[in-house]
Structure 1
Amino acid sequence: MSSRINIARPQPANSYNVDPNGLGNSRGFGGGPYQSSSPAPNPDDPFLKIKQIASKIEDLIDIYSQPLRPHLGSIGRFLIVVTFLEDSWRITTQWSDQCWYLEKHRHFPKFFSNLFLFLNVITMITCAPAVILKRYSEFAVCGLLAVVIVQGFGYGLIFDLNFFLRNLSVVGGLLMVFSDSMTSRKAIFAGLPSLSENDRRKYFQLAGRILLIFLFIGFILQGQWSIARVFVSIVGLAACIMVAIGFKAKWSAAFLVIVLSIFNVFINNWWSIHSAHPQRDFLKYDFFQTLSIVGGLLLLVNMGPGGLSVDEKKKEY
């Protein structure tokens, strides 16, 4: 063991010479050889002020989200799948109406329409709780993704722009769940090149971030315009771009959570419509889908934007 001892001993602090050869500039820069020659930042610089304000907002979000932070992931996962739970309940309670629509408008055979609805309900009531409880989450997410695709074609809504954009956002939320639940697995074929677990997670987080913003794009494209709507659309679109590229992603996602929650309560207020009115079901469907997208954004606030983002790249420089 004595052969591993480092014989060299550090010199005393008072014998250390920062310029043993006398090559340093005796004048220095601002009084010392290690002082930076770059000018002091201008306190009136607008970009510096914006950066300071953004930093304060991030600090406030961190402070006020502390009580919820341990539960933020669970809340996000619950909100993401709540639209599937509501959909399974709606199909079950309106079974005859659903069958009538599929048979009369989609020309499904009676047996196939019942089988179609049964498989959808079973998949949703099985996979949604699995996502909430983080049990077999990857298989559960795949099952719910299959429900989104099958229902789009089954009900003939795949070419409806509003439905398409909303479901892209729901898919984005499911991809956020998928990236959150990814666990390391052994390679199936040893020796073959494969992406690491971290690389796969980064790509899923990137895809989830981009898809999450499509609901807000749908909000911009539809409805009547007003001064307030123009203002909210411009600010919201800027926040969507920041979420997509991962720049200040946490507080821009938190801003979208607030905007979408307010929008959801005042626009999709299905509880104020009479139960016999046909518009009630459409508003209820939009309400719970928006909750799912809010859940995806909450997961983004909880997890961060991932490796493929401006925020993460800034840490490297």
Structure 2
Amino acid sequence: MDLSLRLETLDVPDINSLVRLSAAVGWDYDAAEIGTLLAVGRVFGHKTAAGELVSSAAVVPYAPDRAHMGMVIVHPDFRRGGLGKAVTATALGVMTIGSCVSLVSTPEGLPLYEKMGFEIVSVVHKYVRSQGLSGYADKPIDQGNVVSLRWDDIERVNALDVQAFGVDRREFLRHRVRQASAGWMLVNGAQIHGYALGIKGAASWILGPVVARDDWVATQLTAQIAQATMDAMRIDVPAQHADWAACELPRWGFAKVAEPPVMTYHGRPLRFGKGLYALAAQVFG
């Protein structure tokens, strides 16, 4: 490793550098996404003597024993120097021994994670819709029960999210709702049966998280966001709902493009409930 490089904790002044670093490897993080990441997680990276950011890794601690990792990047000009291992180890060091730390791996990152003790425990089904491919199906009948998600619904939404994600991520949801361009709930009186958010990014929308009582509810909520825009969109569906995704998502122009592995440190089991239909994003879980 180049000893002139400094491994630092990153913060708001580093947002533009993180955007540039992600672009260098073909990723489309924007300032808003990274701002949310910095607000709820810890981000680390190597800088050159001139201040150029050449690596990154983020960890989002949702509980003392549960976290999700992402945005593990090494600039192409600085690979094969041990930076990825060093910055990932630093991010892991935020959590206590025995914690469940999960991540969604890229093909390039898989060998590194395996060497560091991560094991594959599942997969995610990644679907993408190109710009303009909207309106492939009539919007499902929502019977007037799909309503806009409001700020004062956060606590009720969080209670449903805890059941689906397996841990309280209230602080993340507060920031995510602020960032969202669209948010919907399916309600029956005072009871919430599901919610979904749409995040407008630099290159495409992210449809997620989607949390629902059953397939029908998930379809109603997904349709509201998928048909609200002609922009490109992507959604990451846990393996437990692969059949639902294969049946429903092509109706709105989505096509499956990848099946990246979900990994946990030393194979710790994840506690996803059956209600999680889509991740918030691969960096957040």
* TM-score, length basis structure 2: 0.27
Higher share of residues assigned strand = 2
Q: TM-score, normalised by structure 1?
A: 0.25
Higher helix proportion (structure 1 or 2): 1
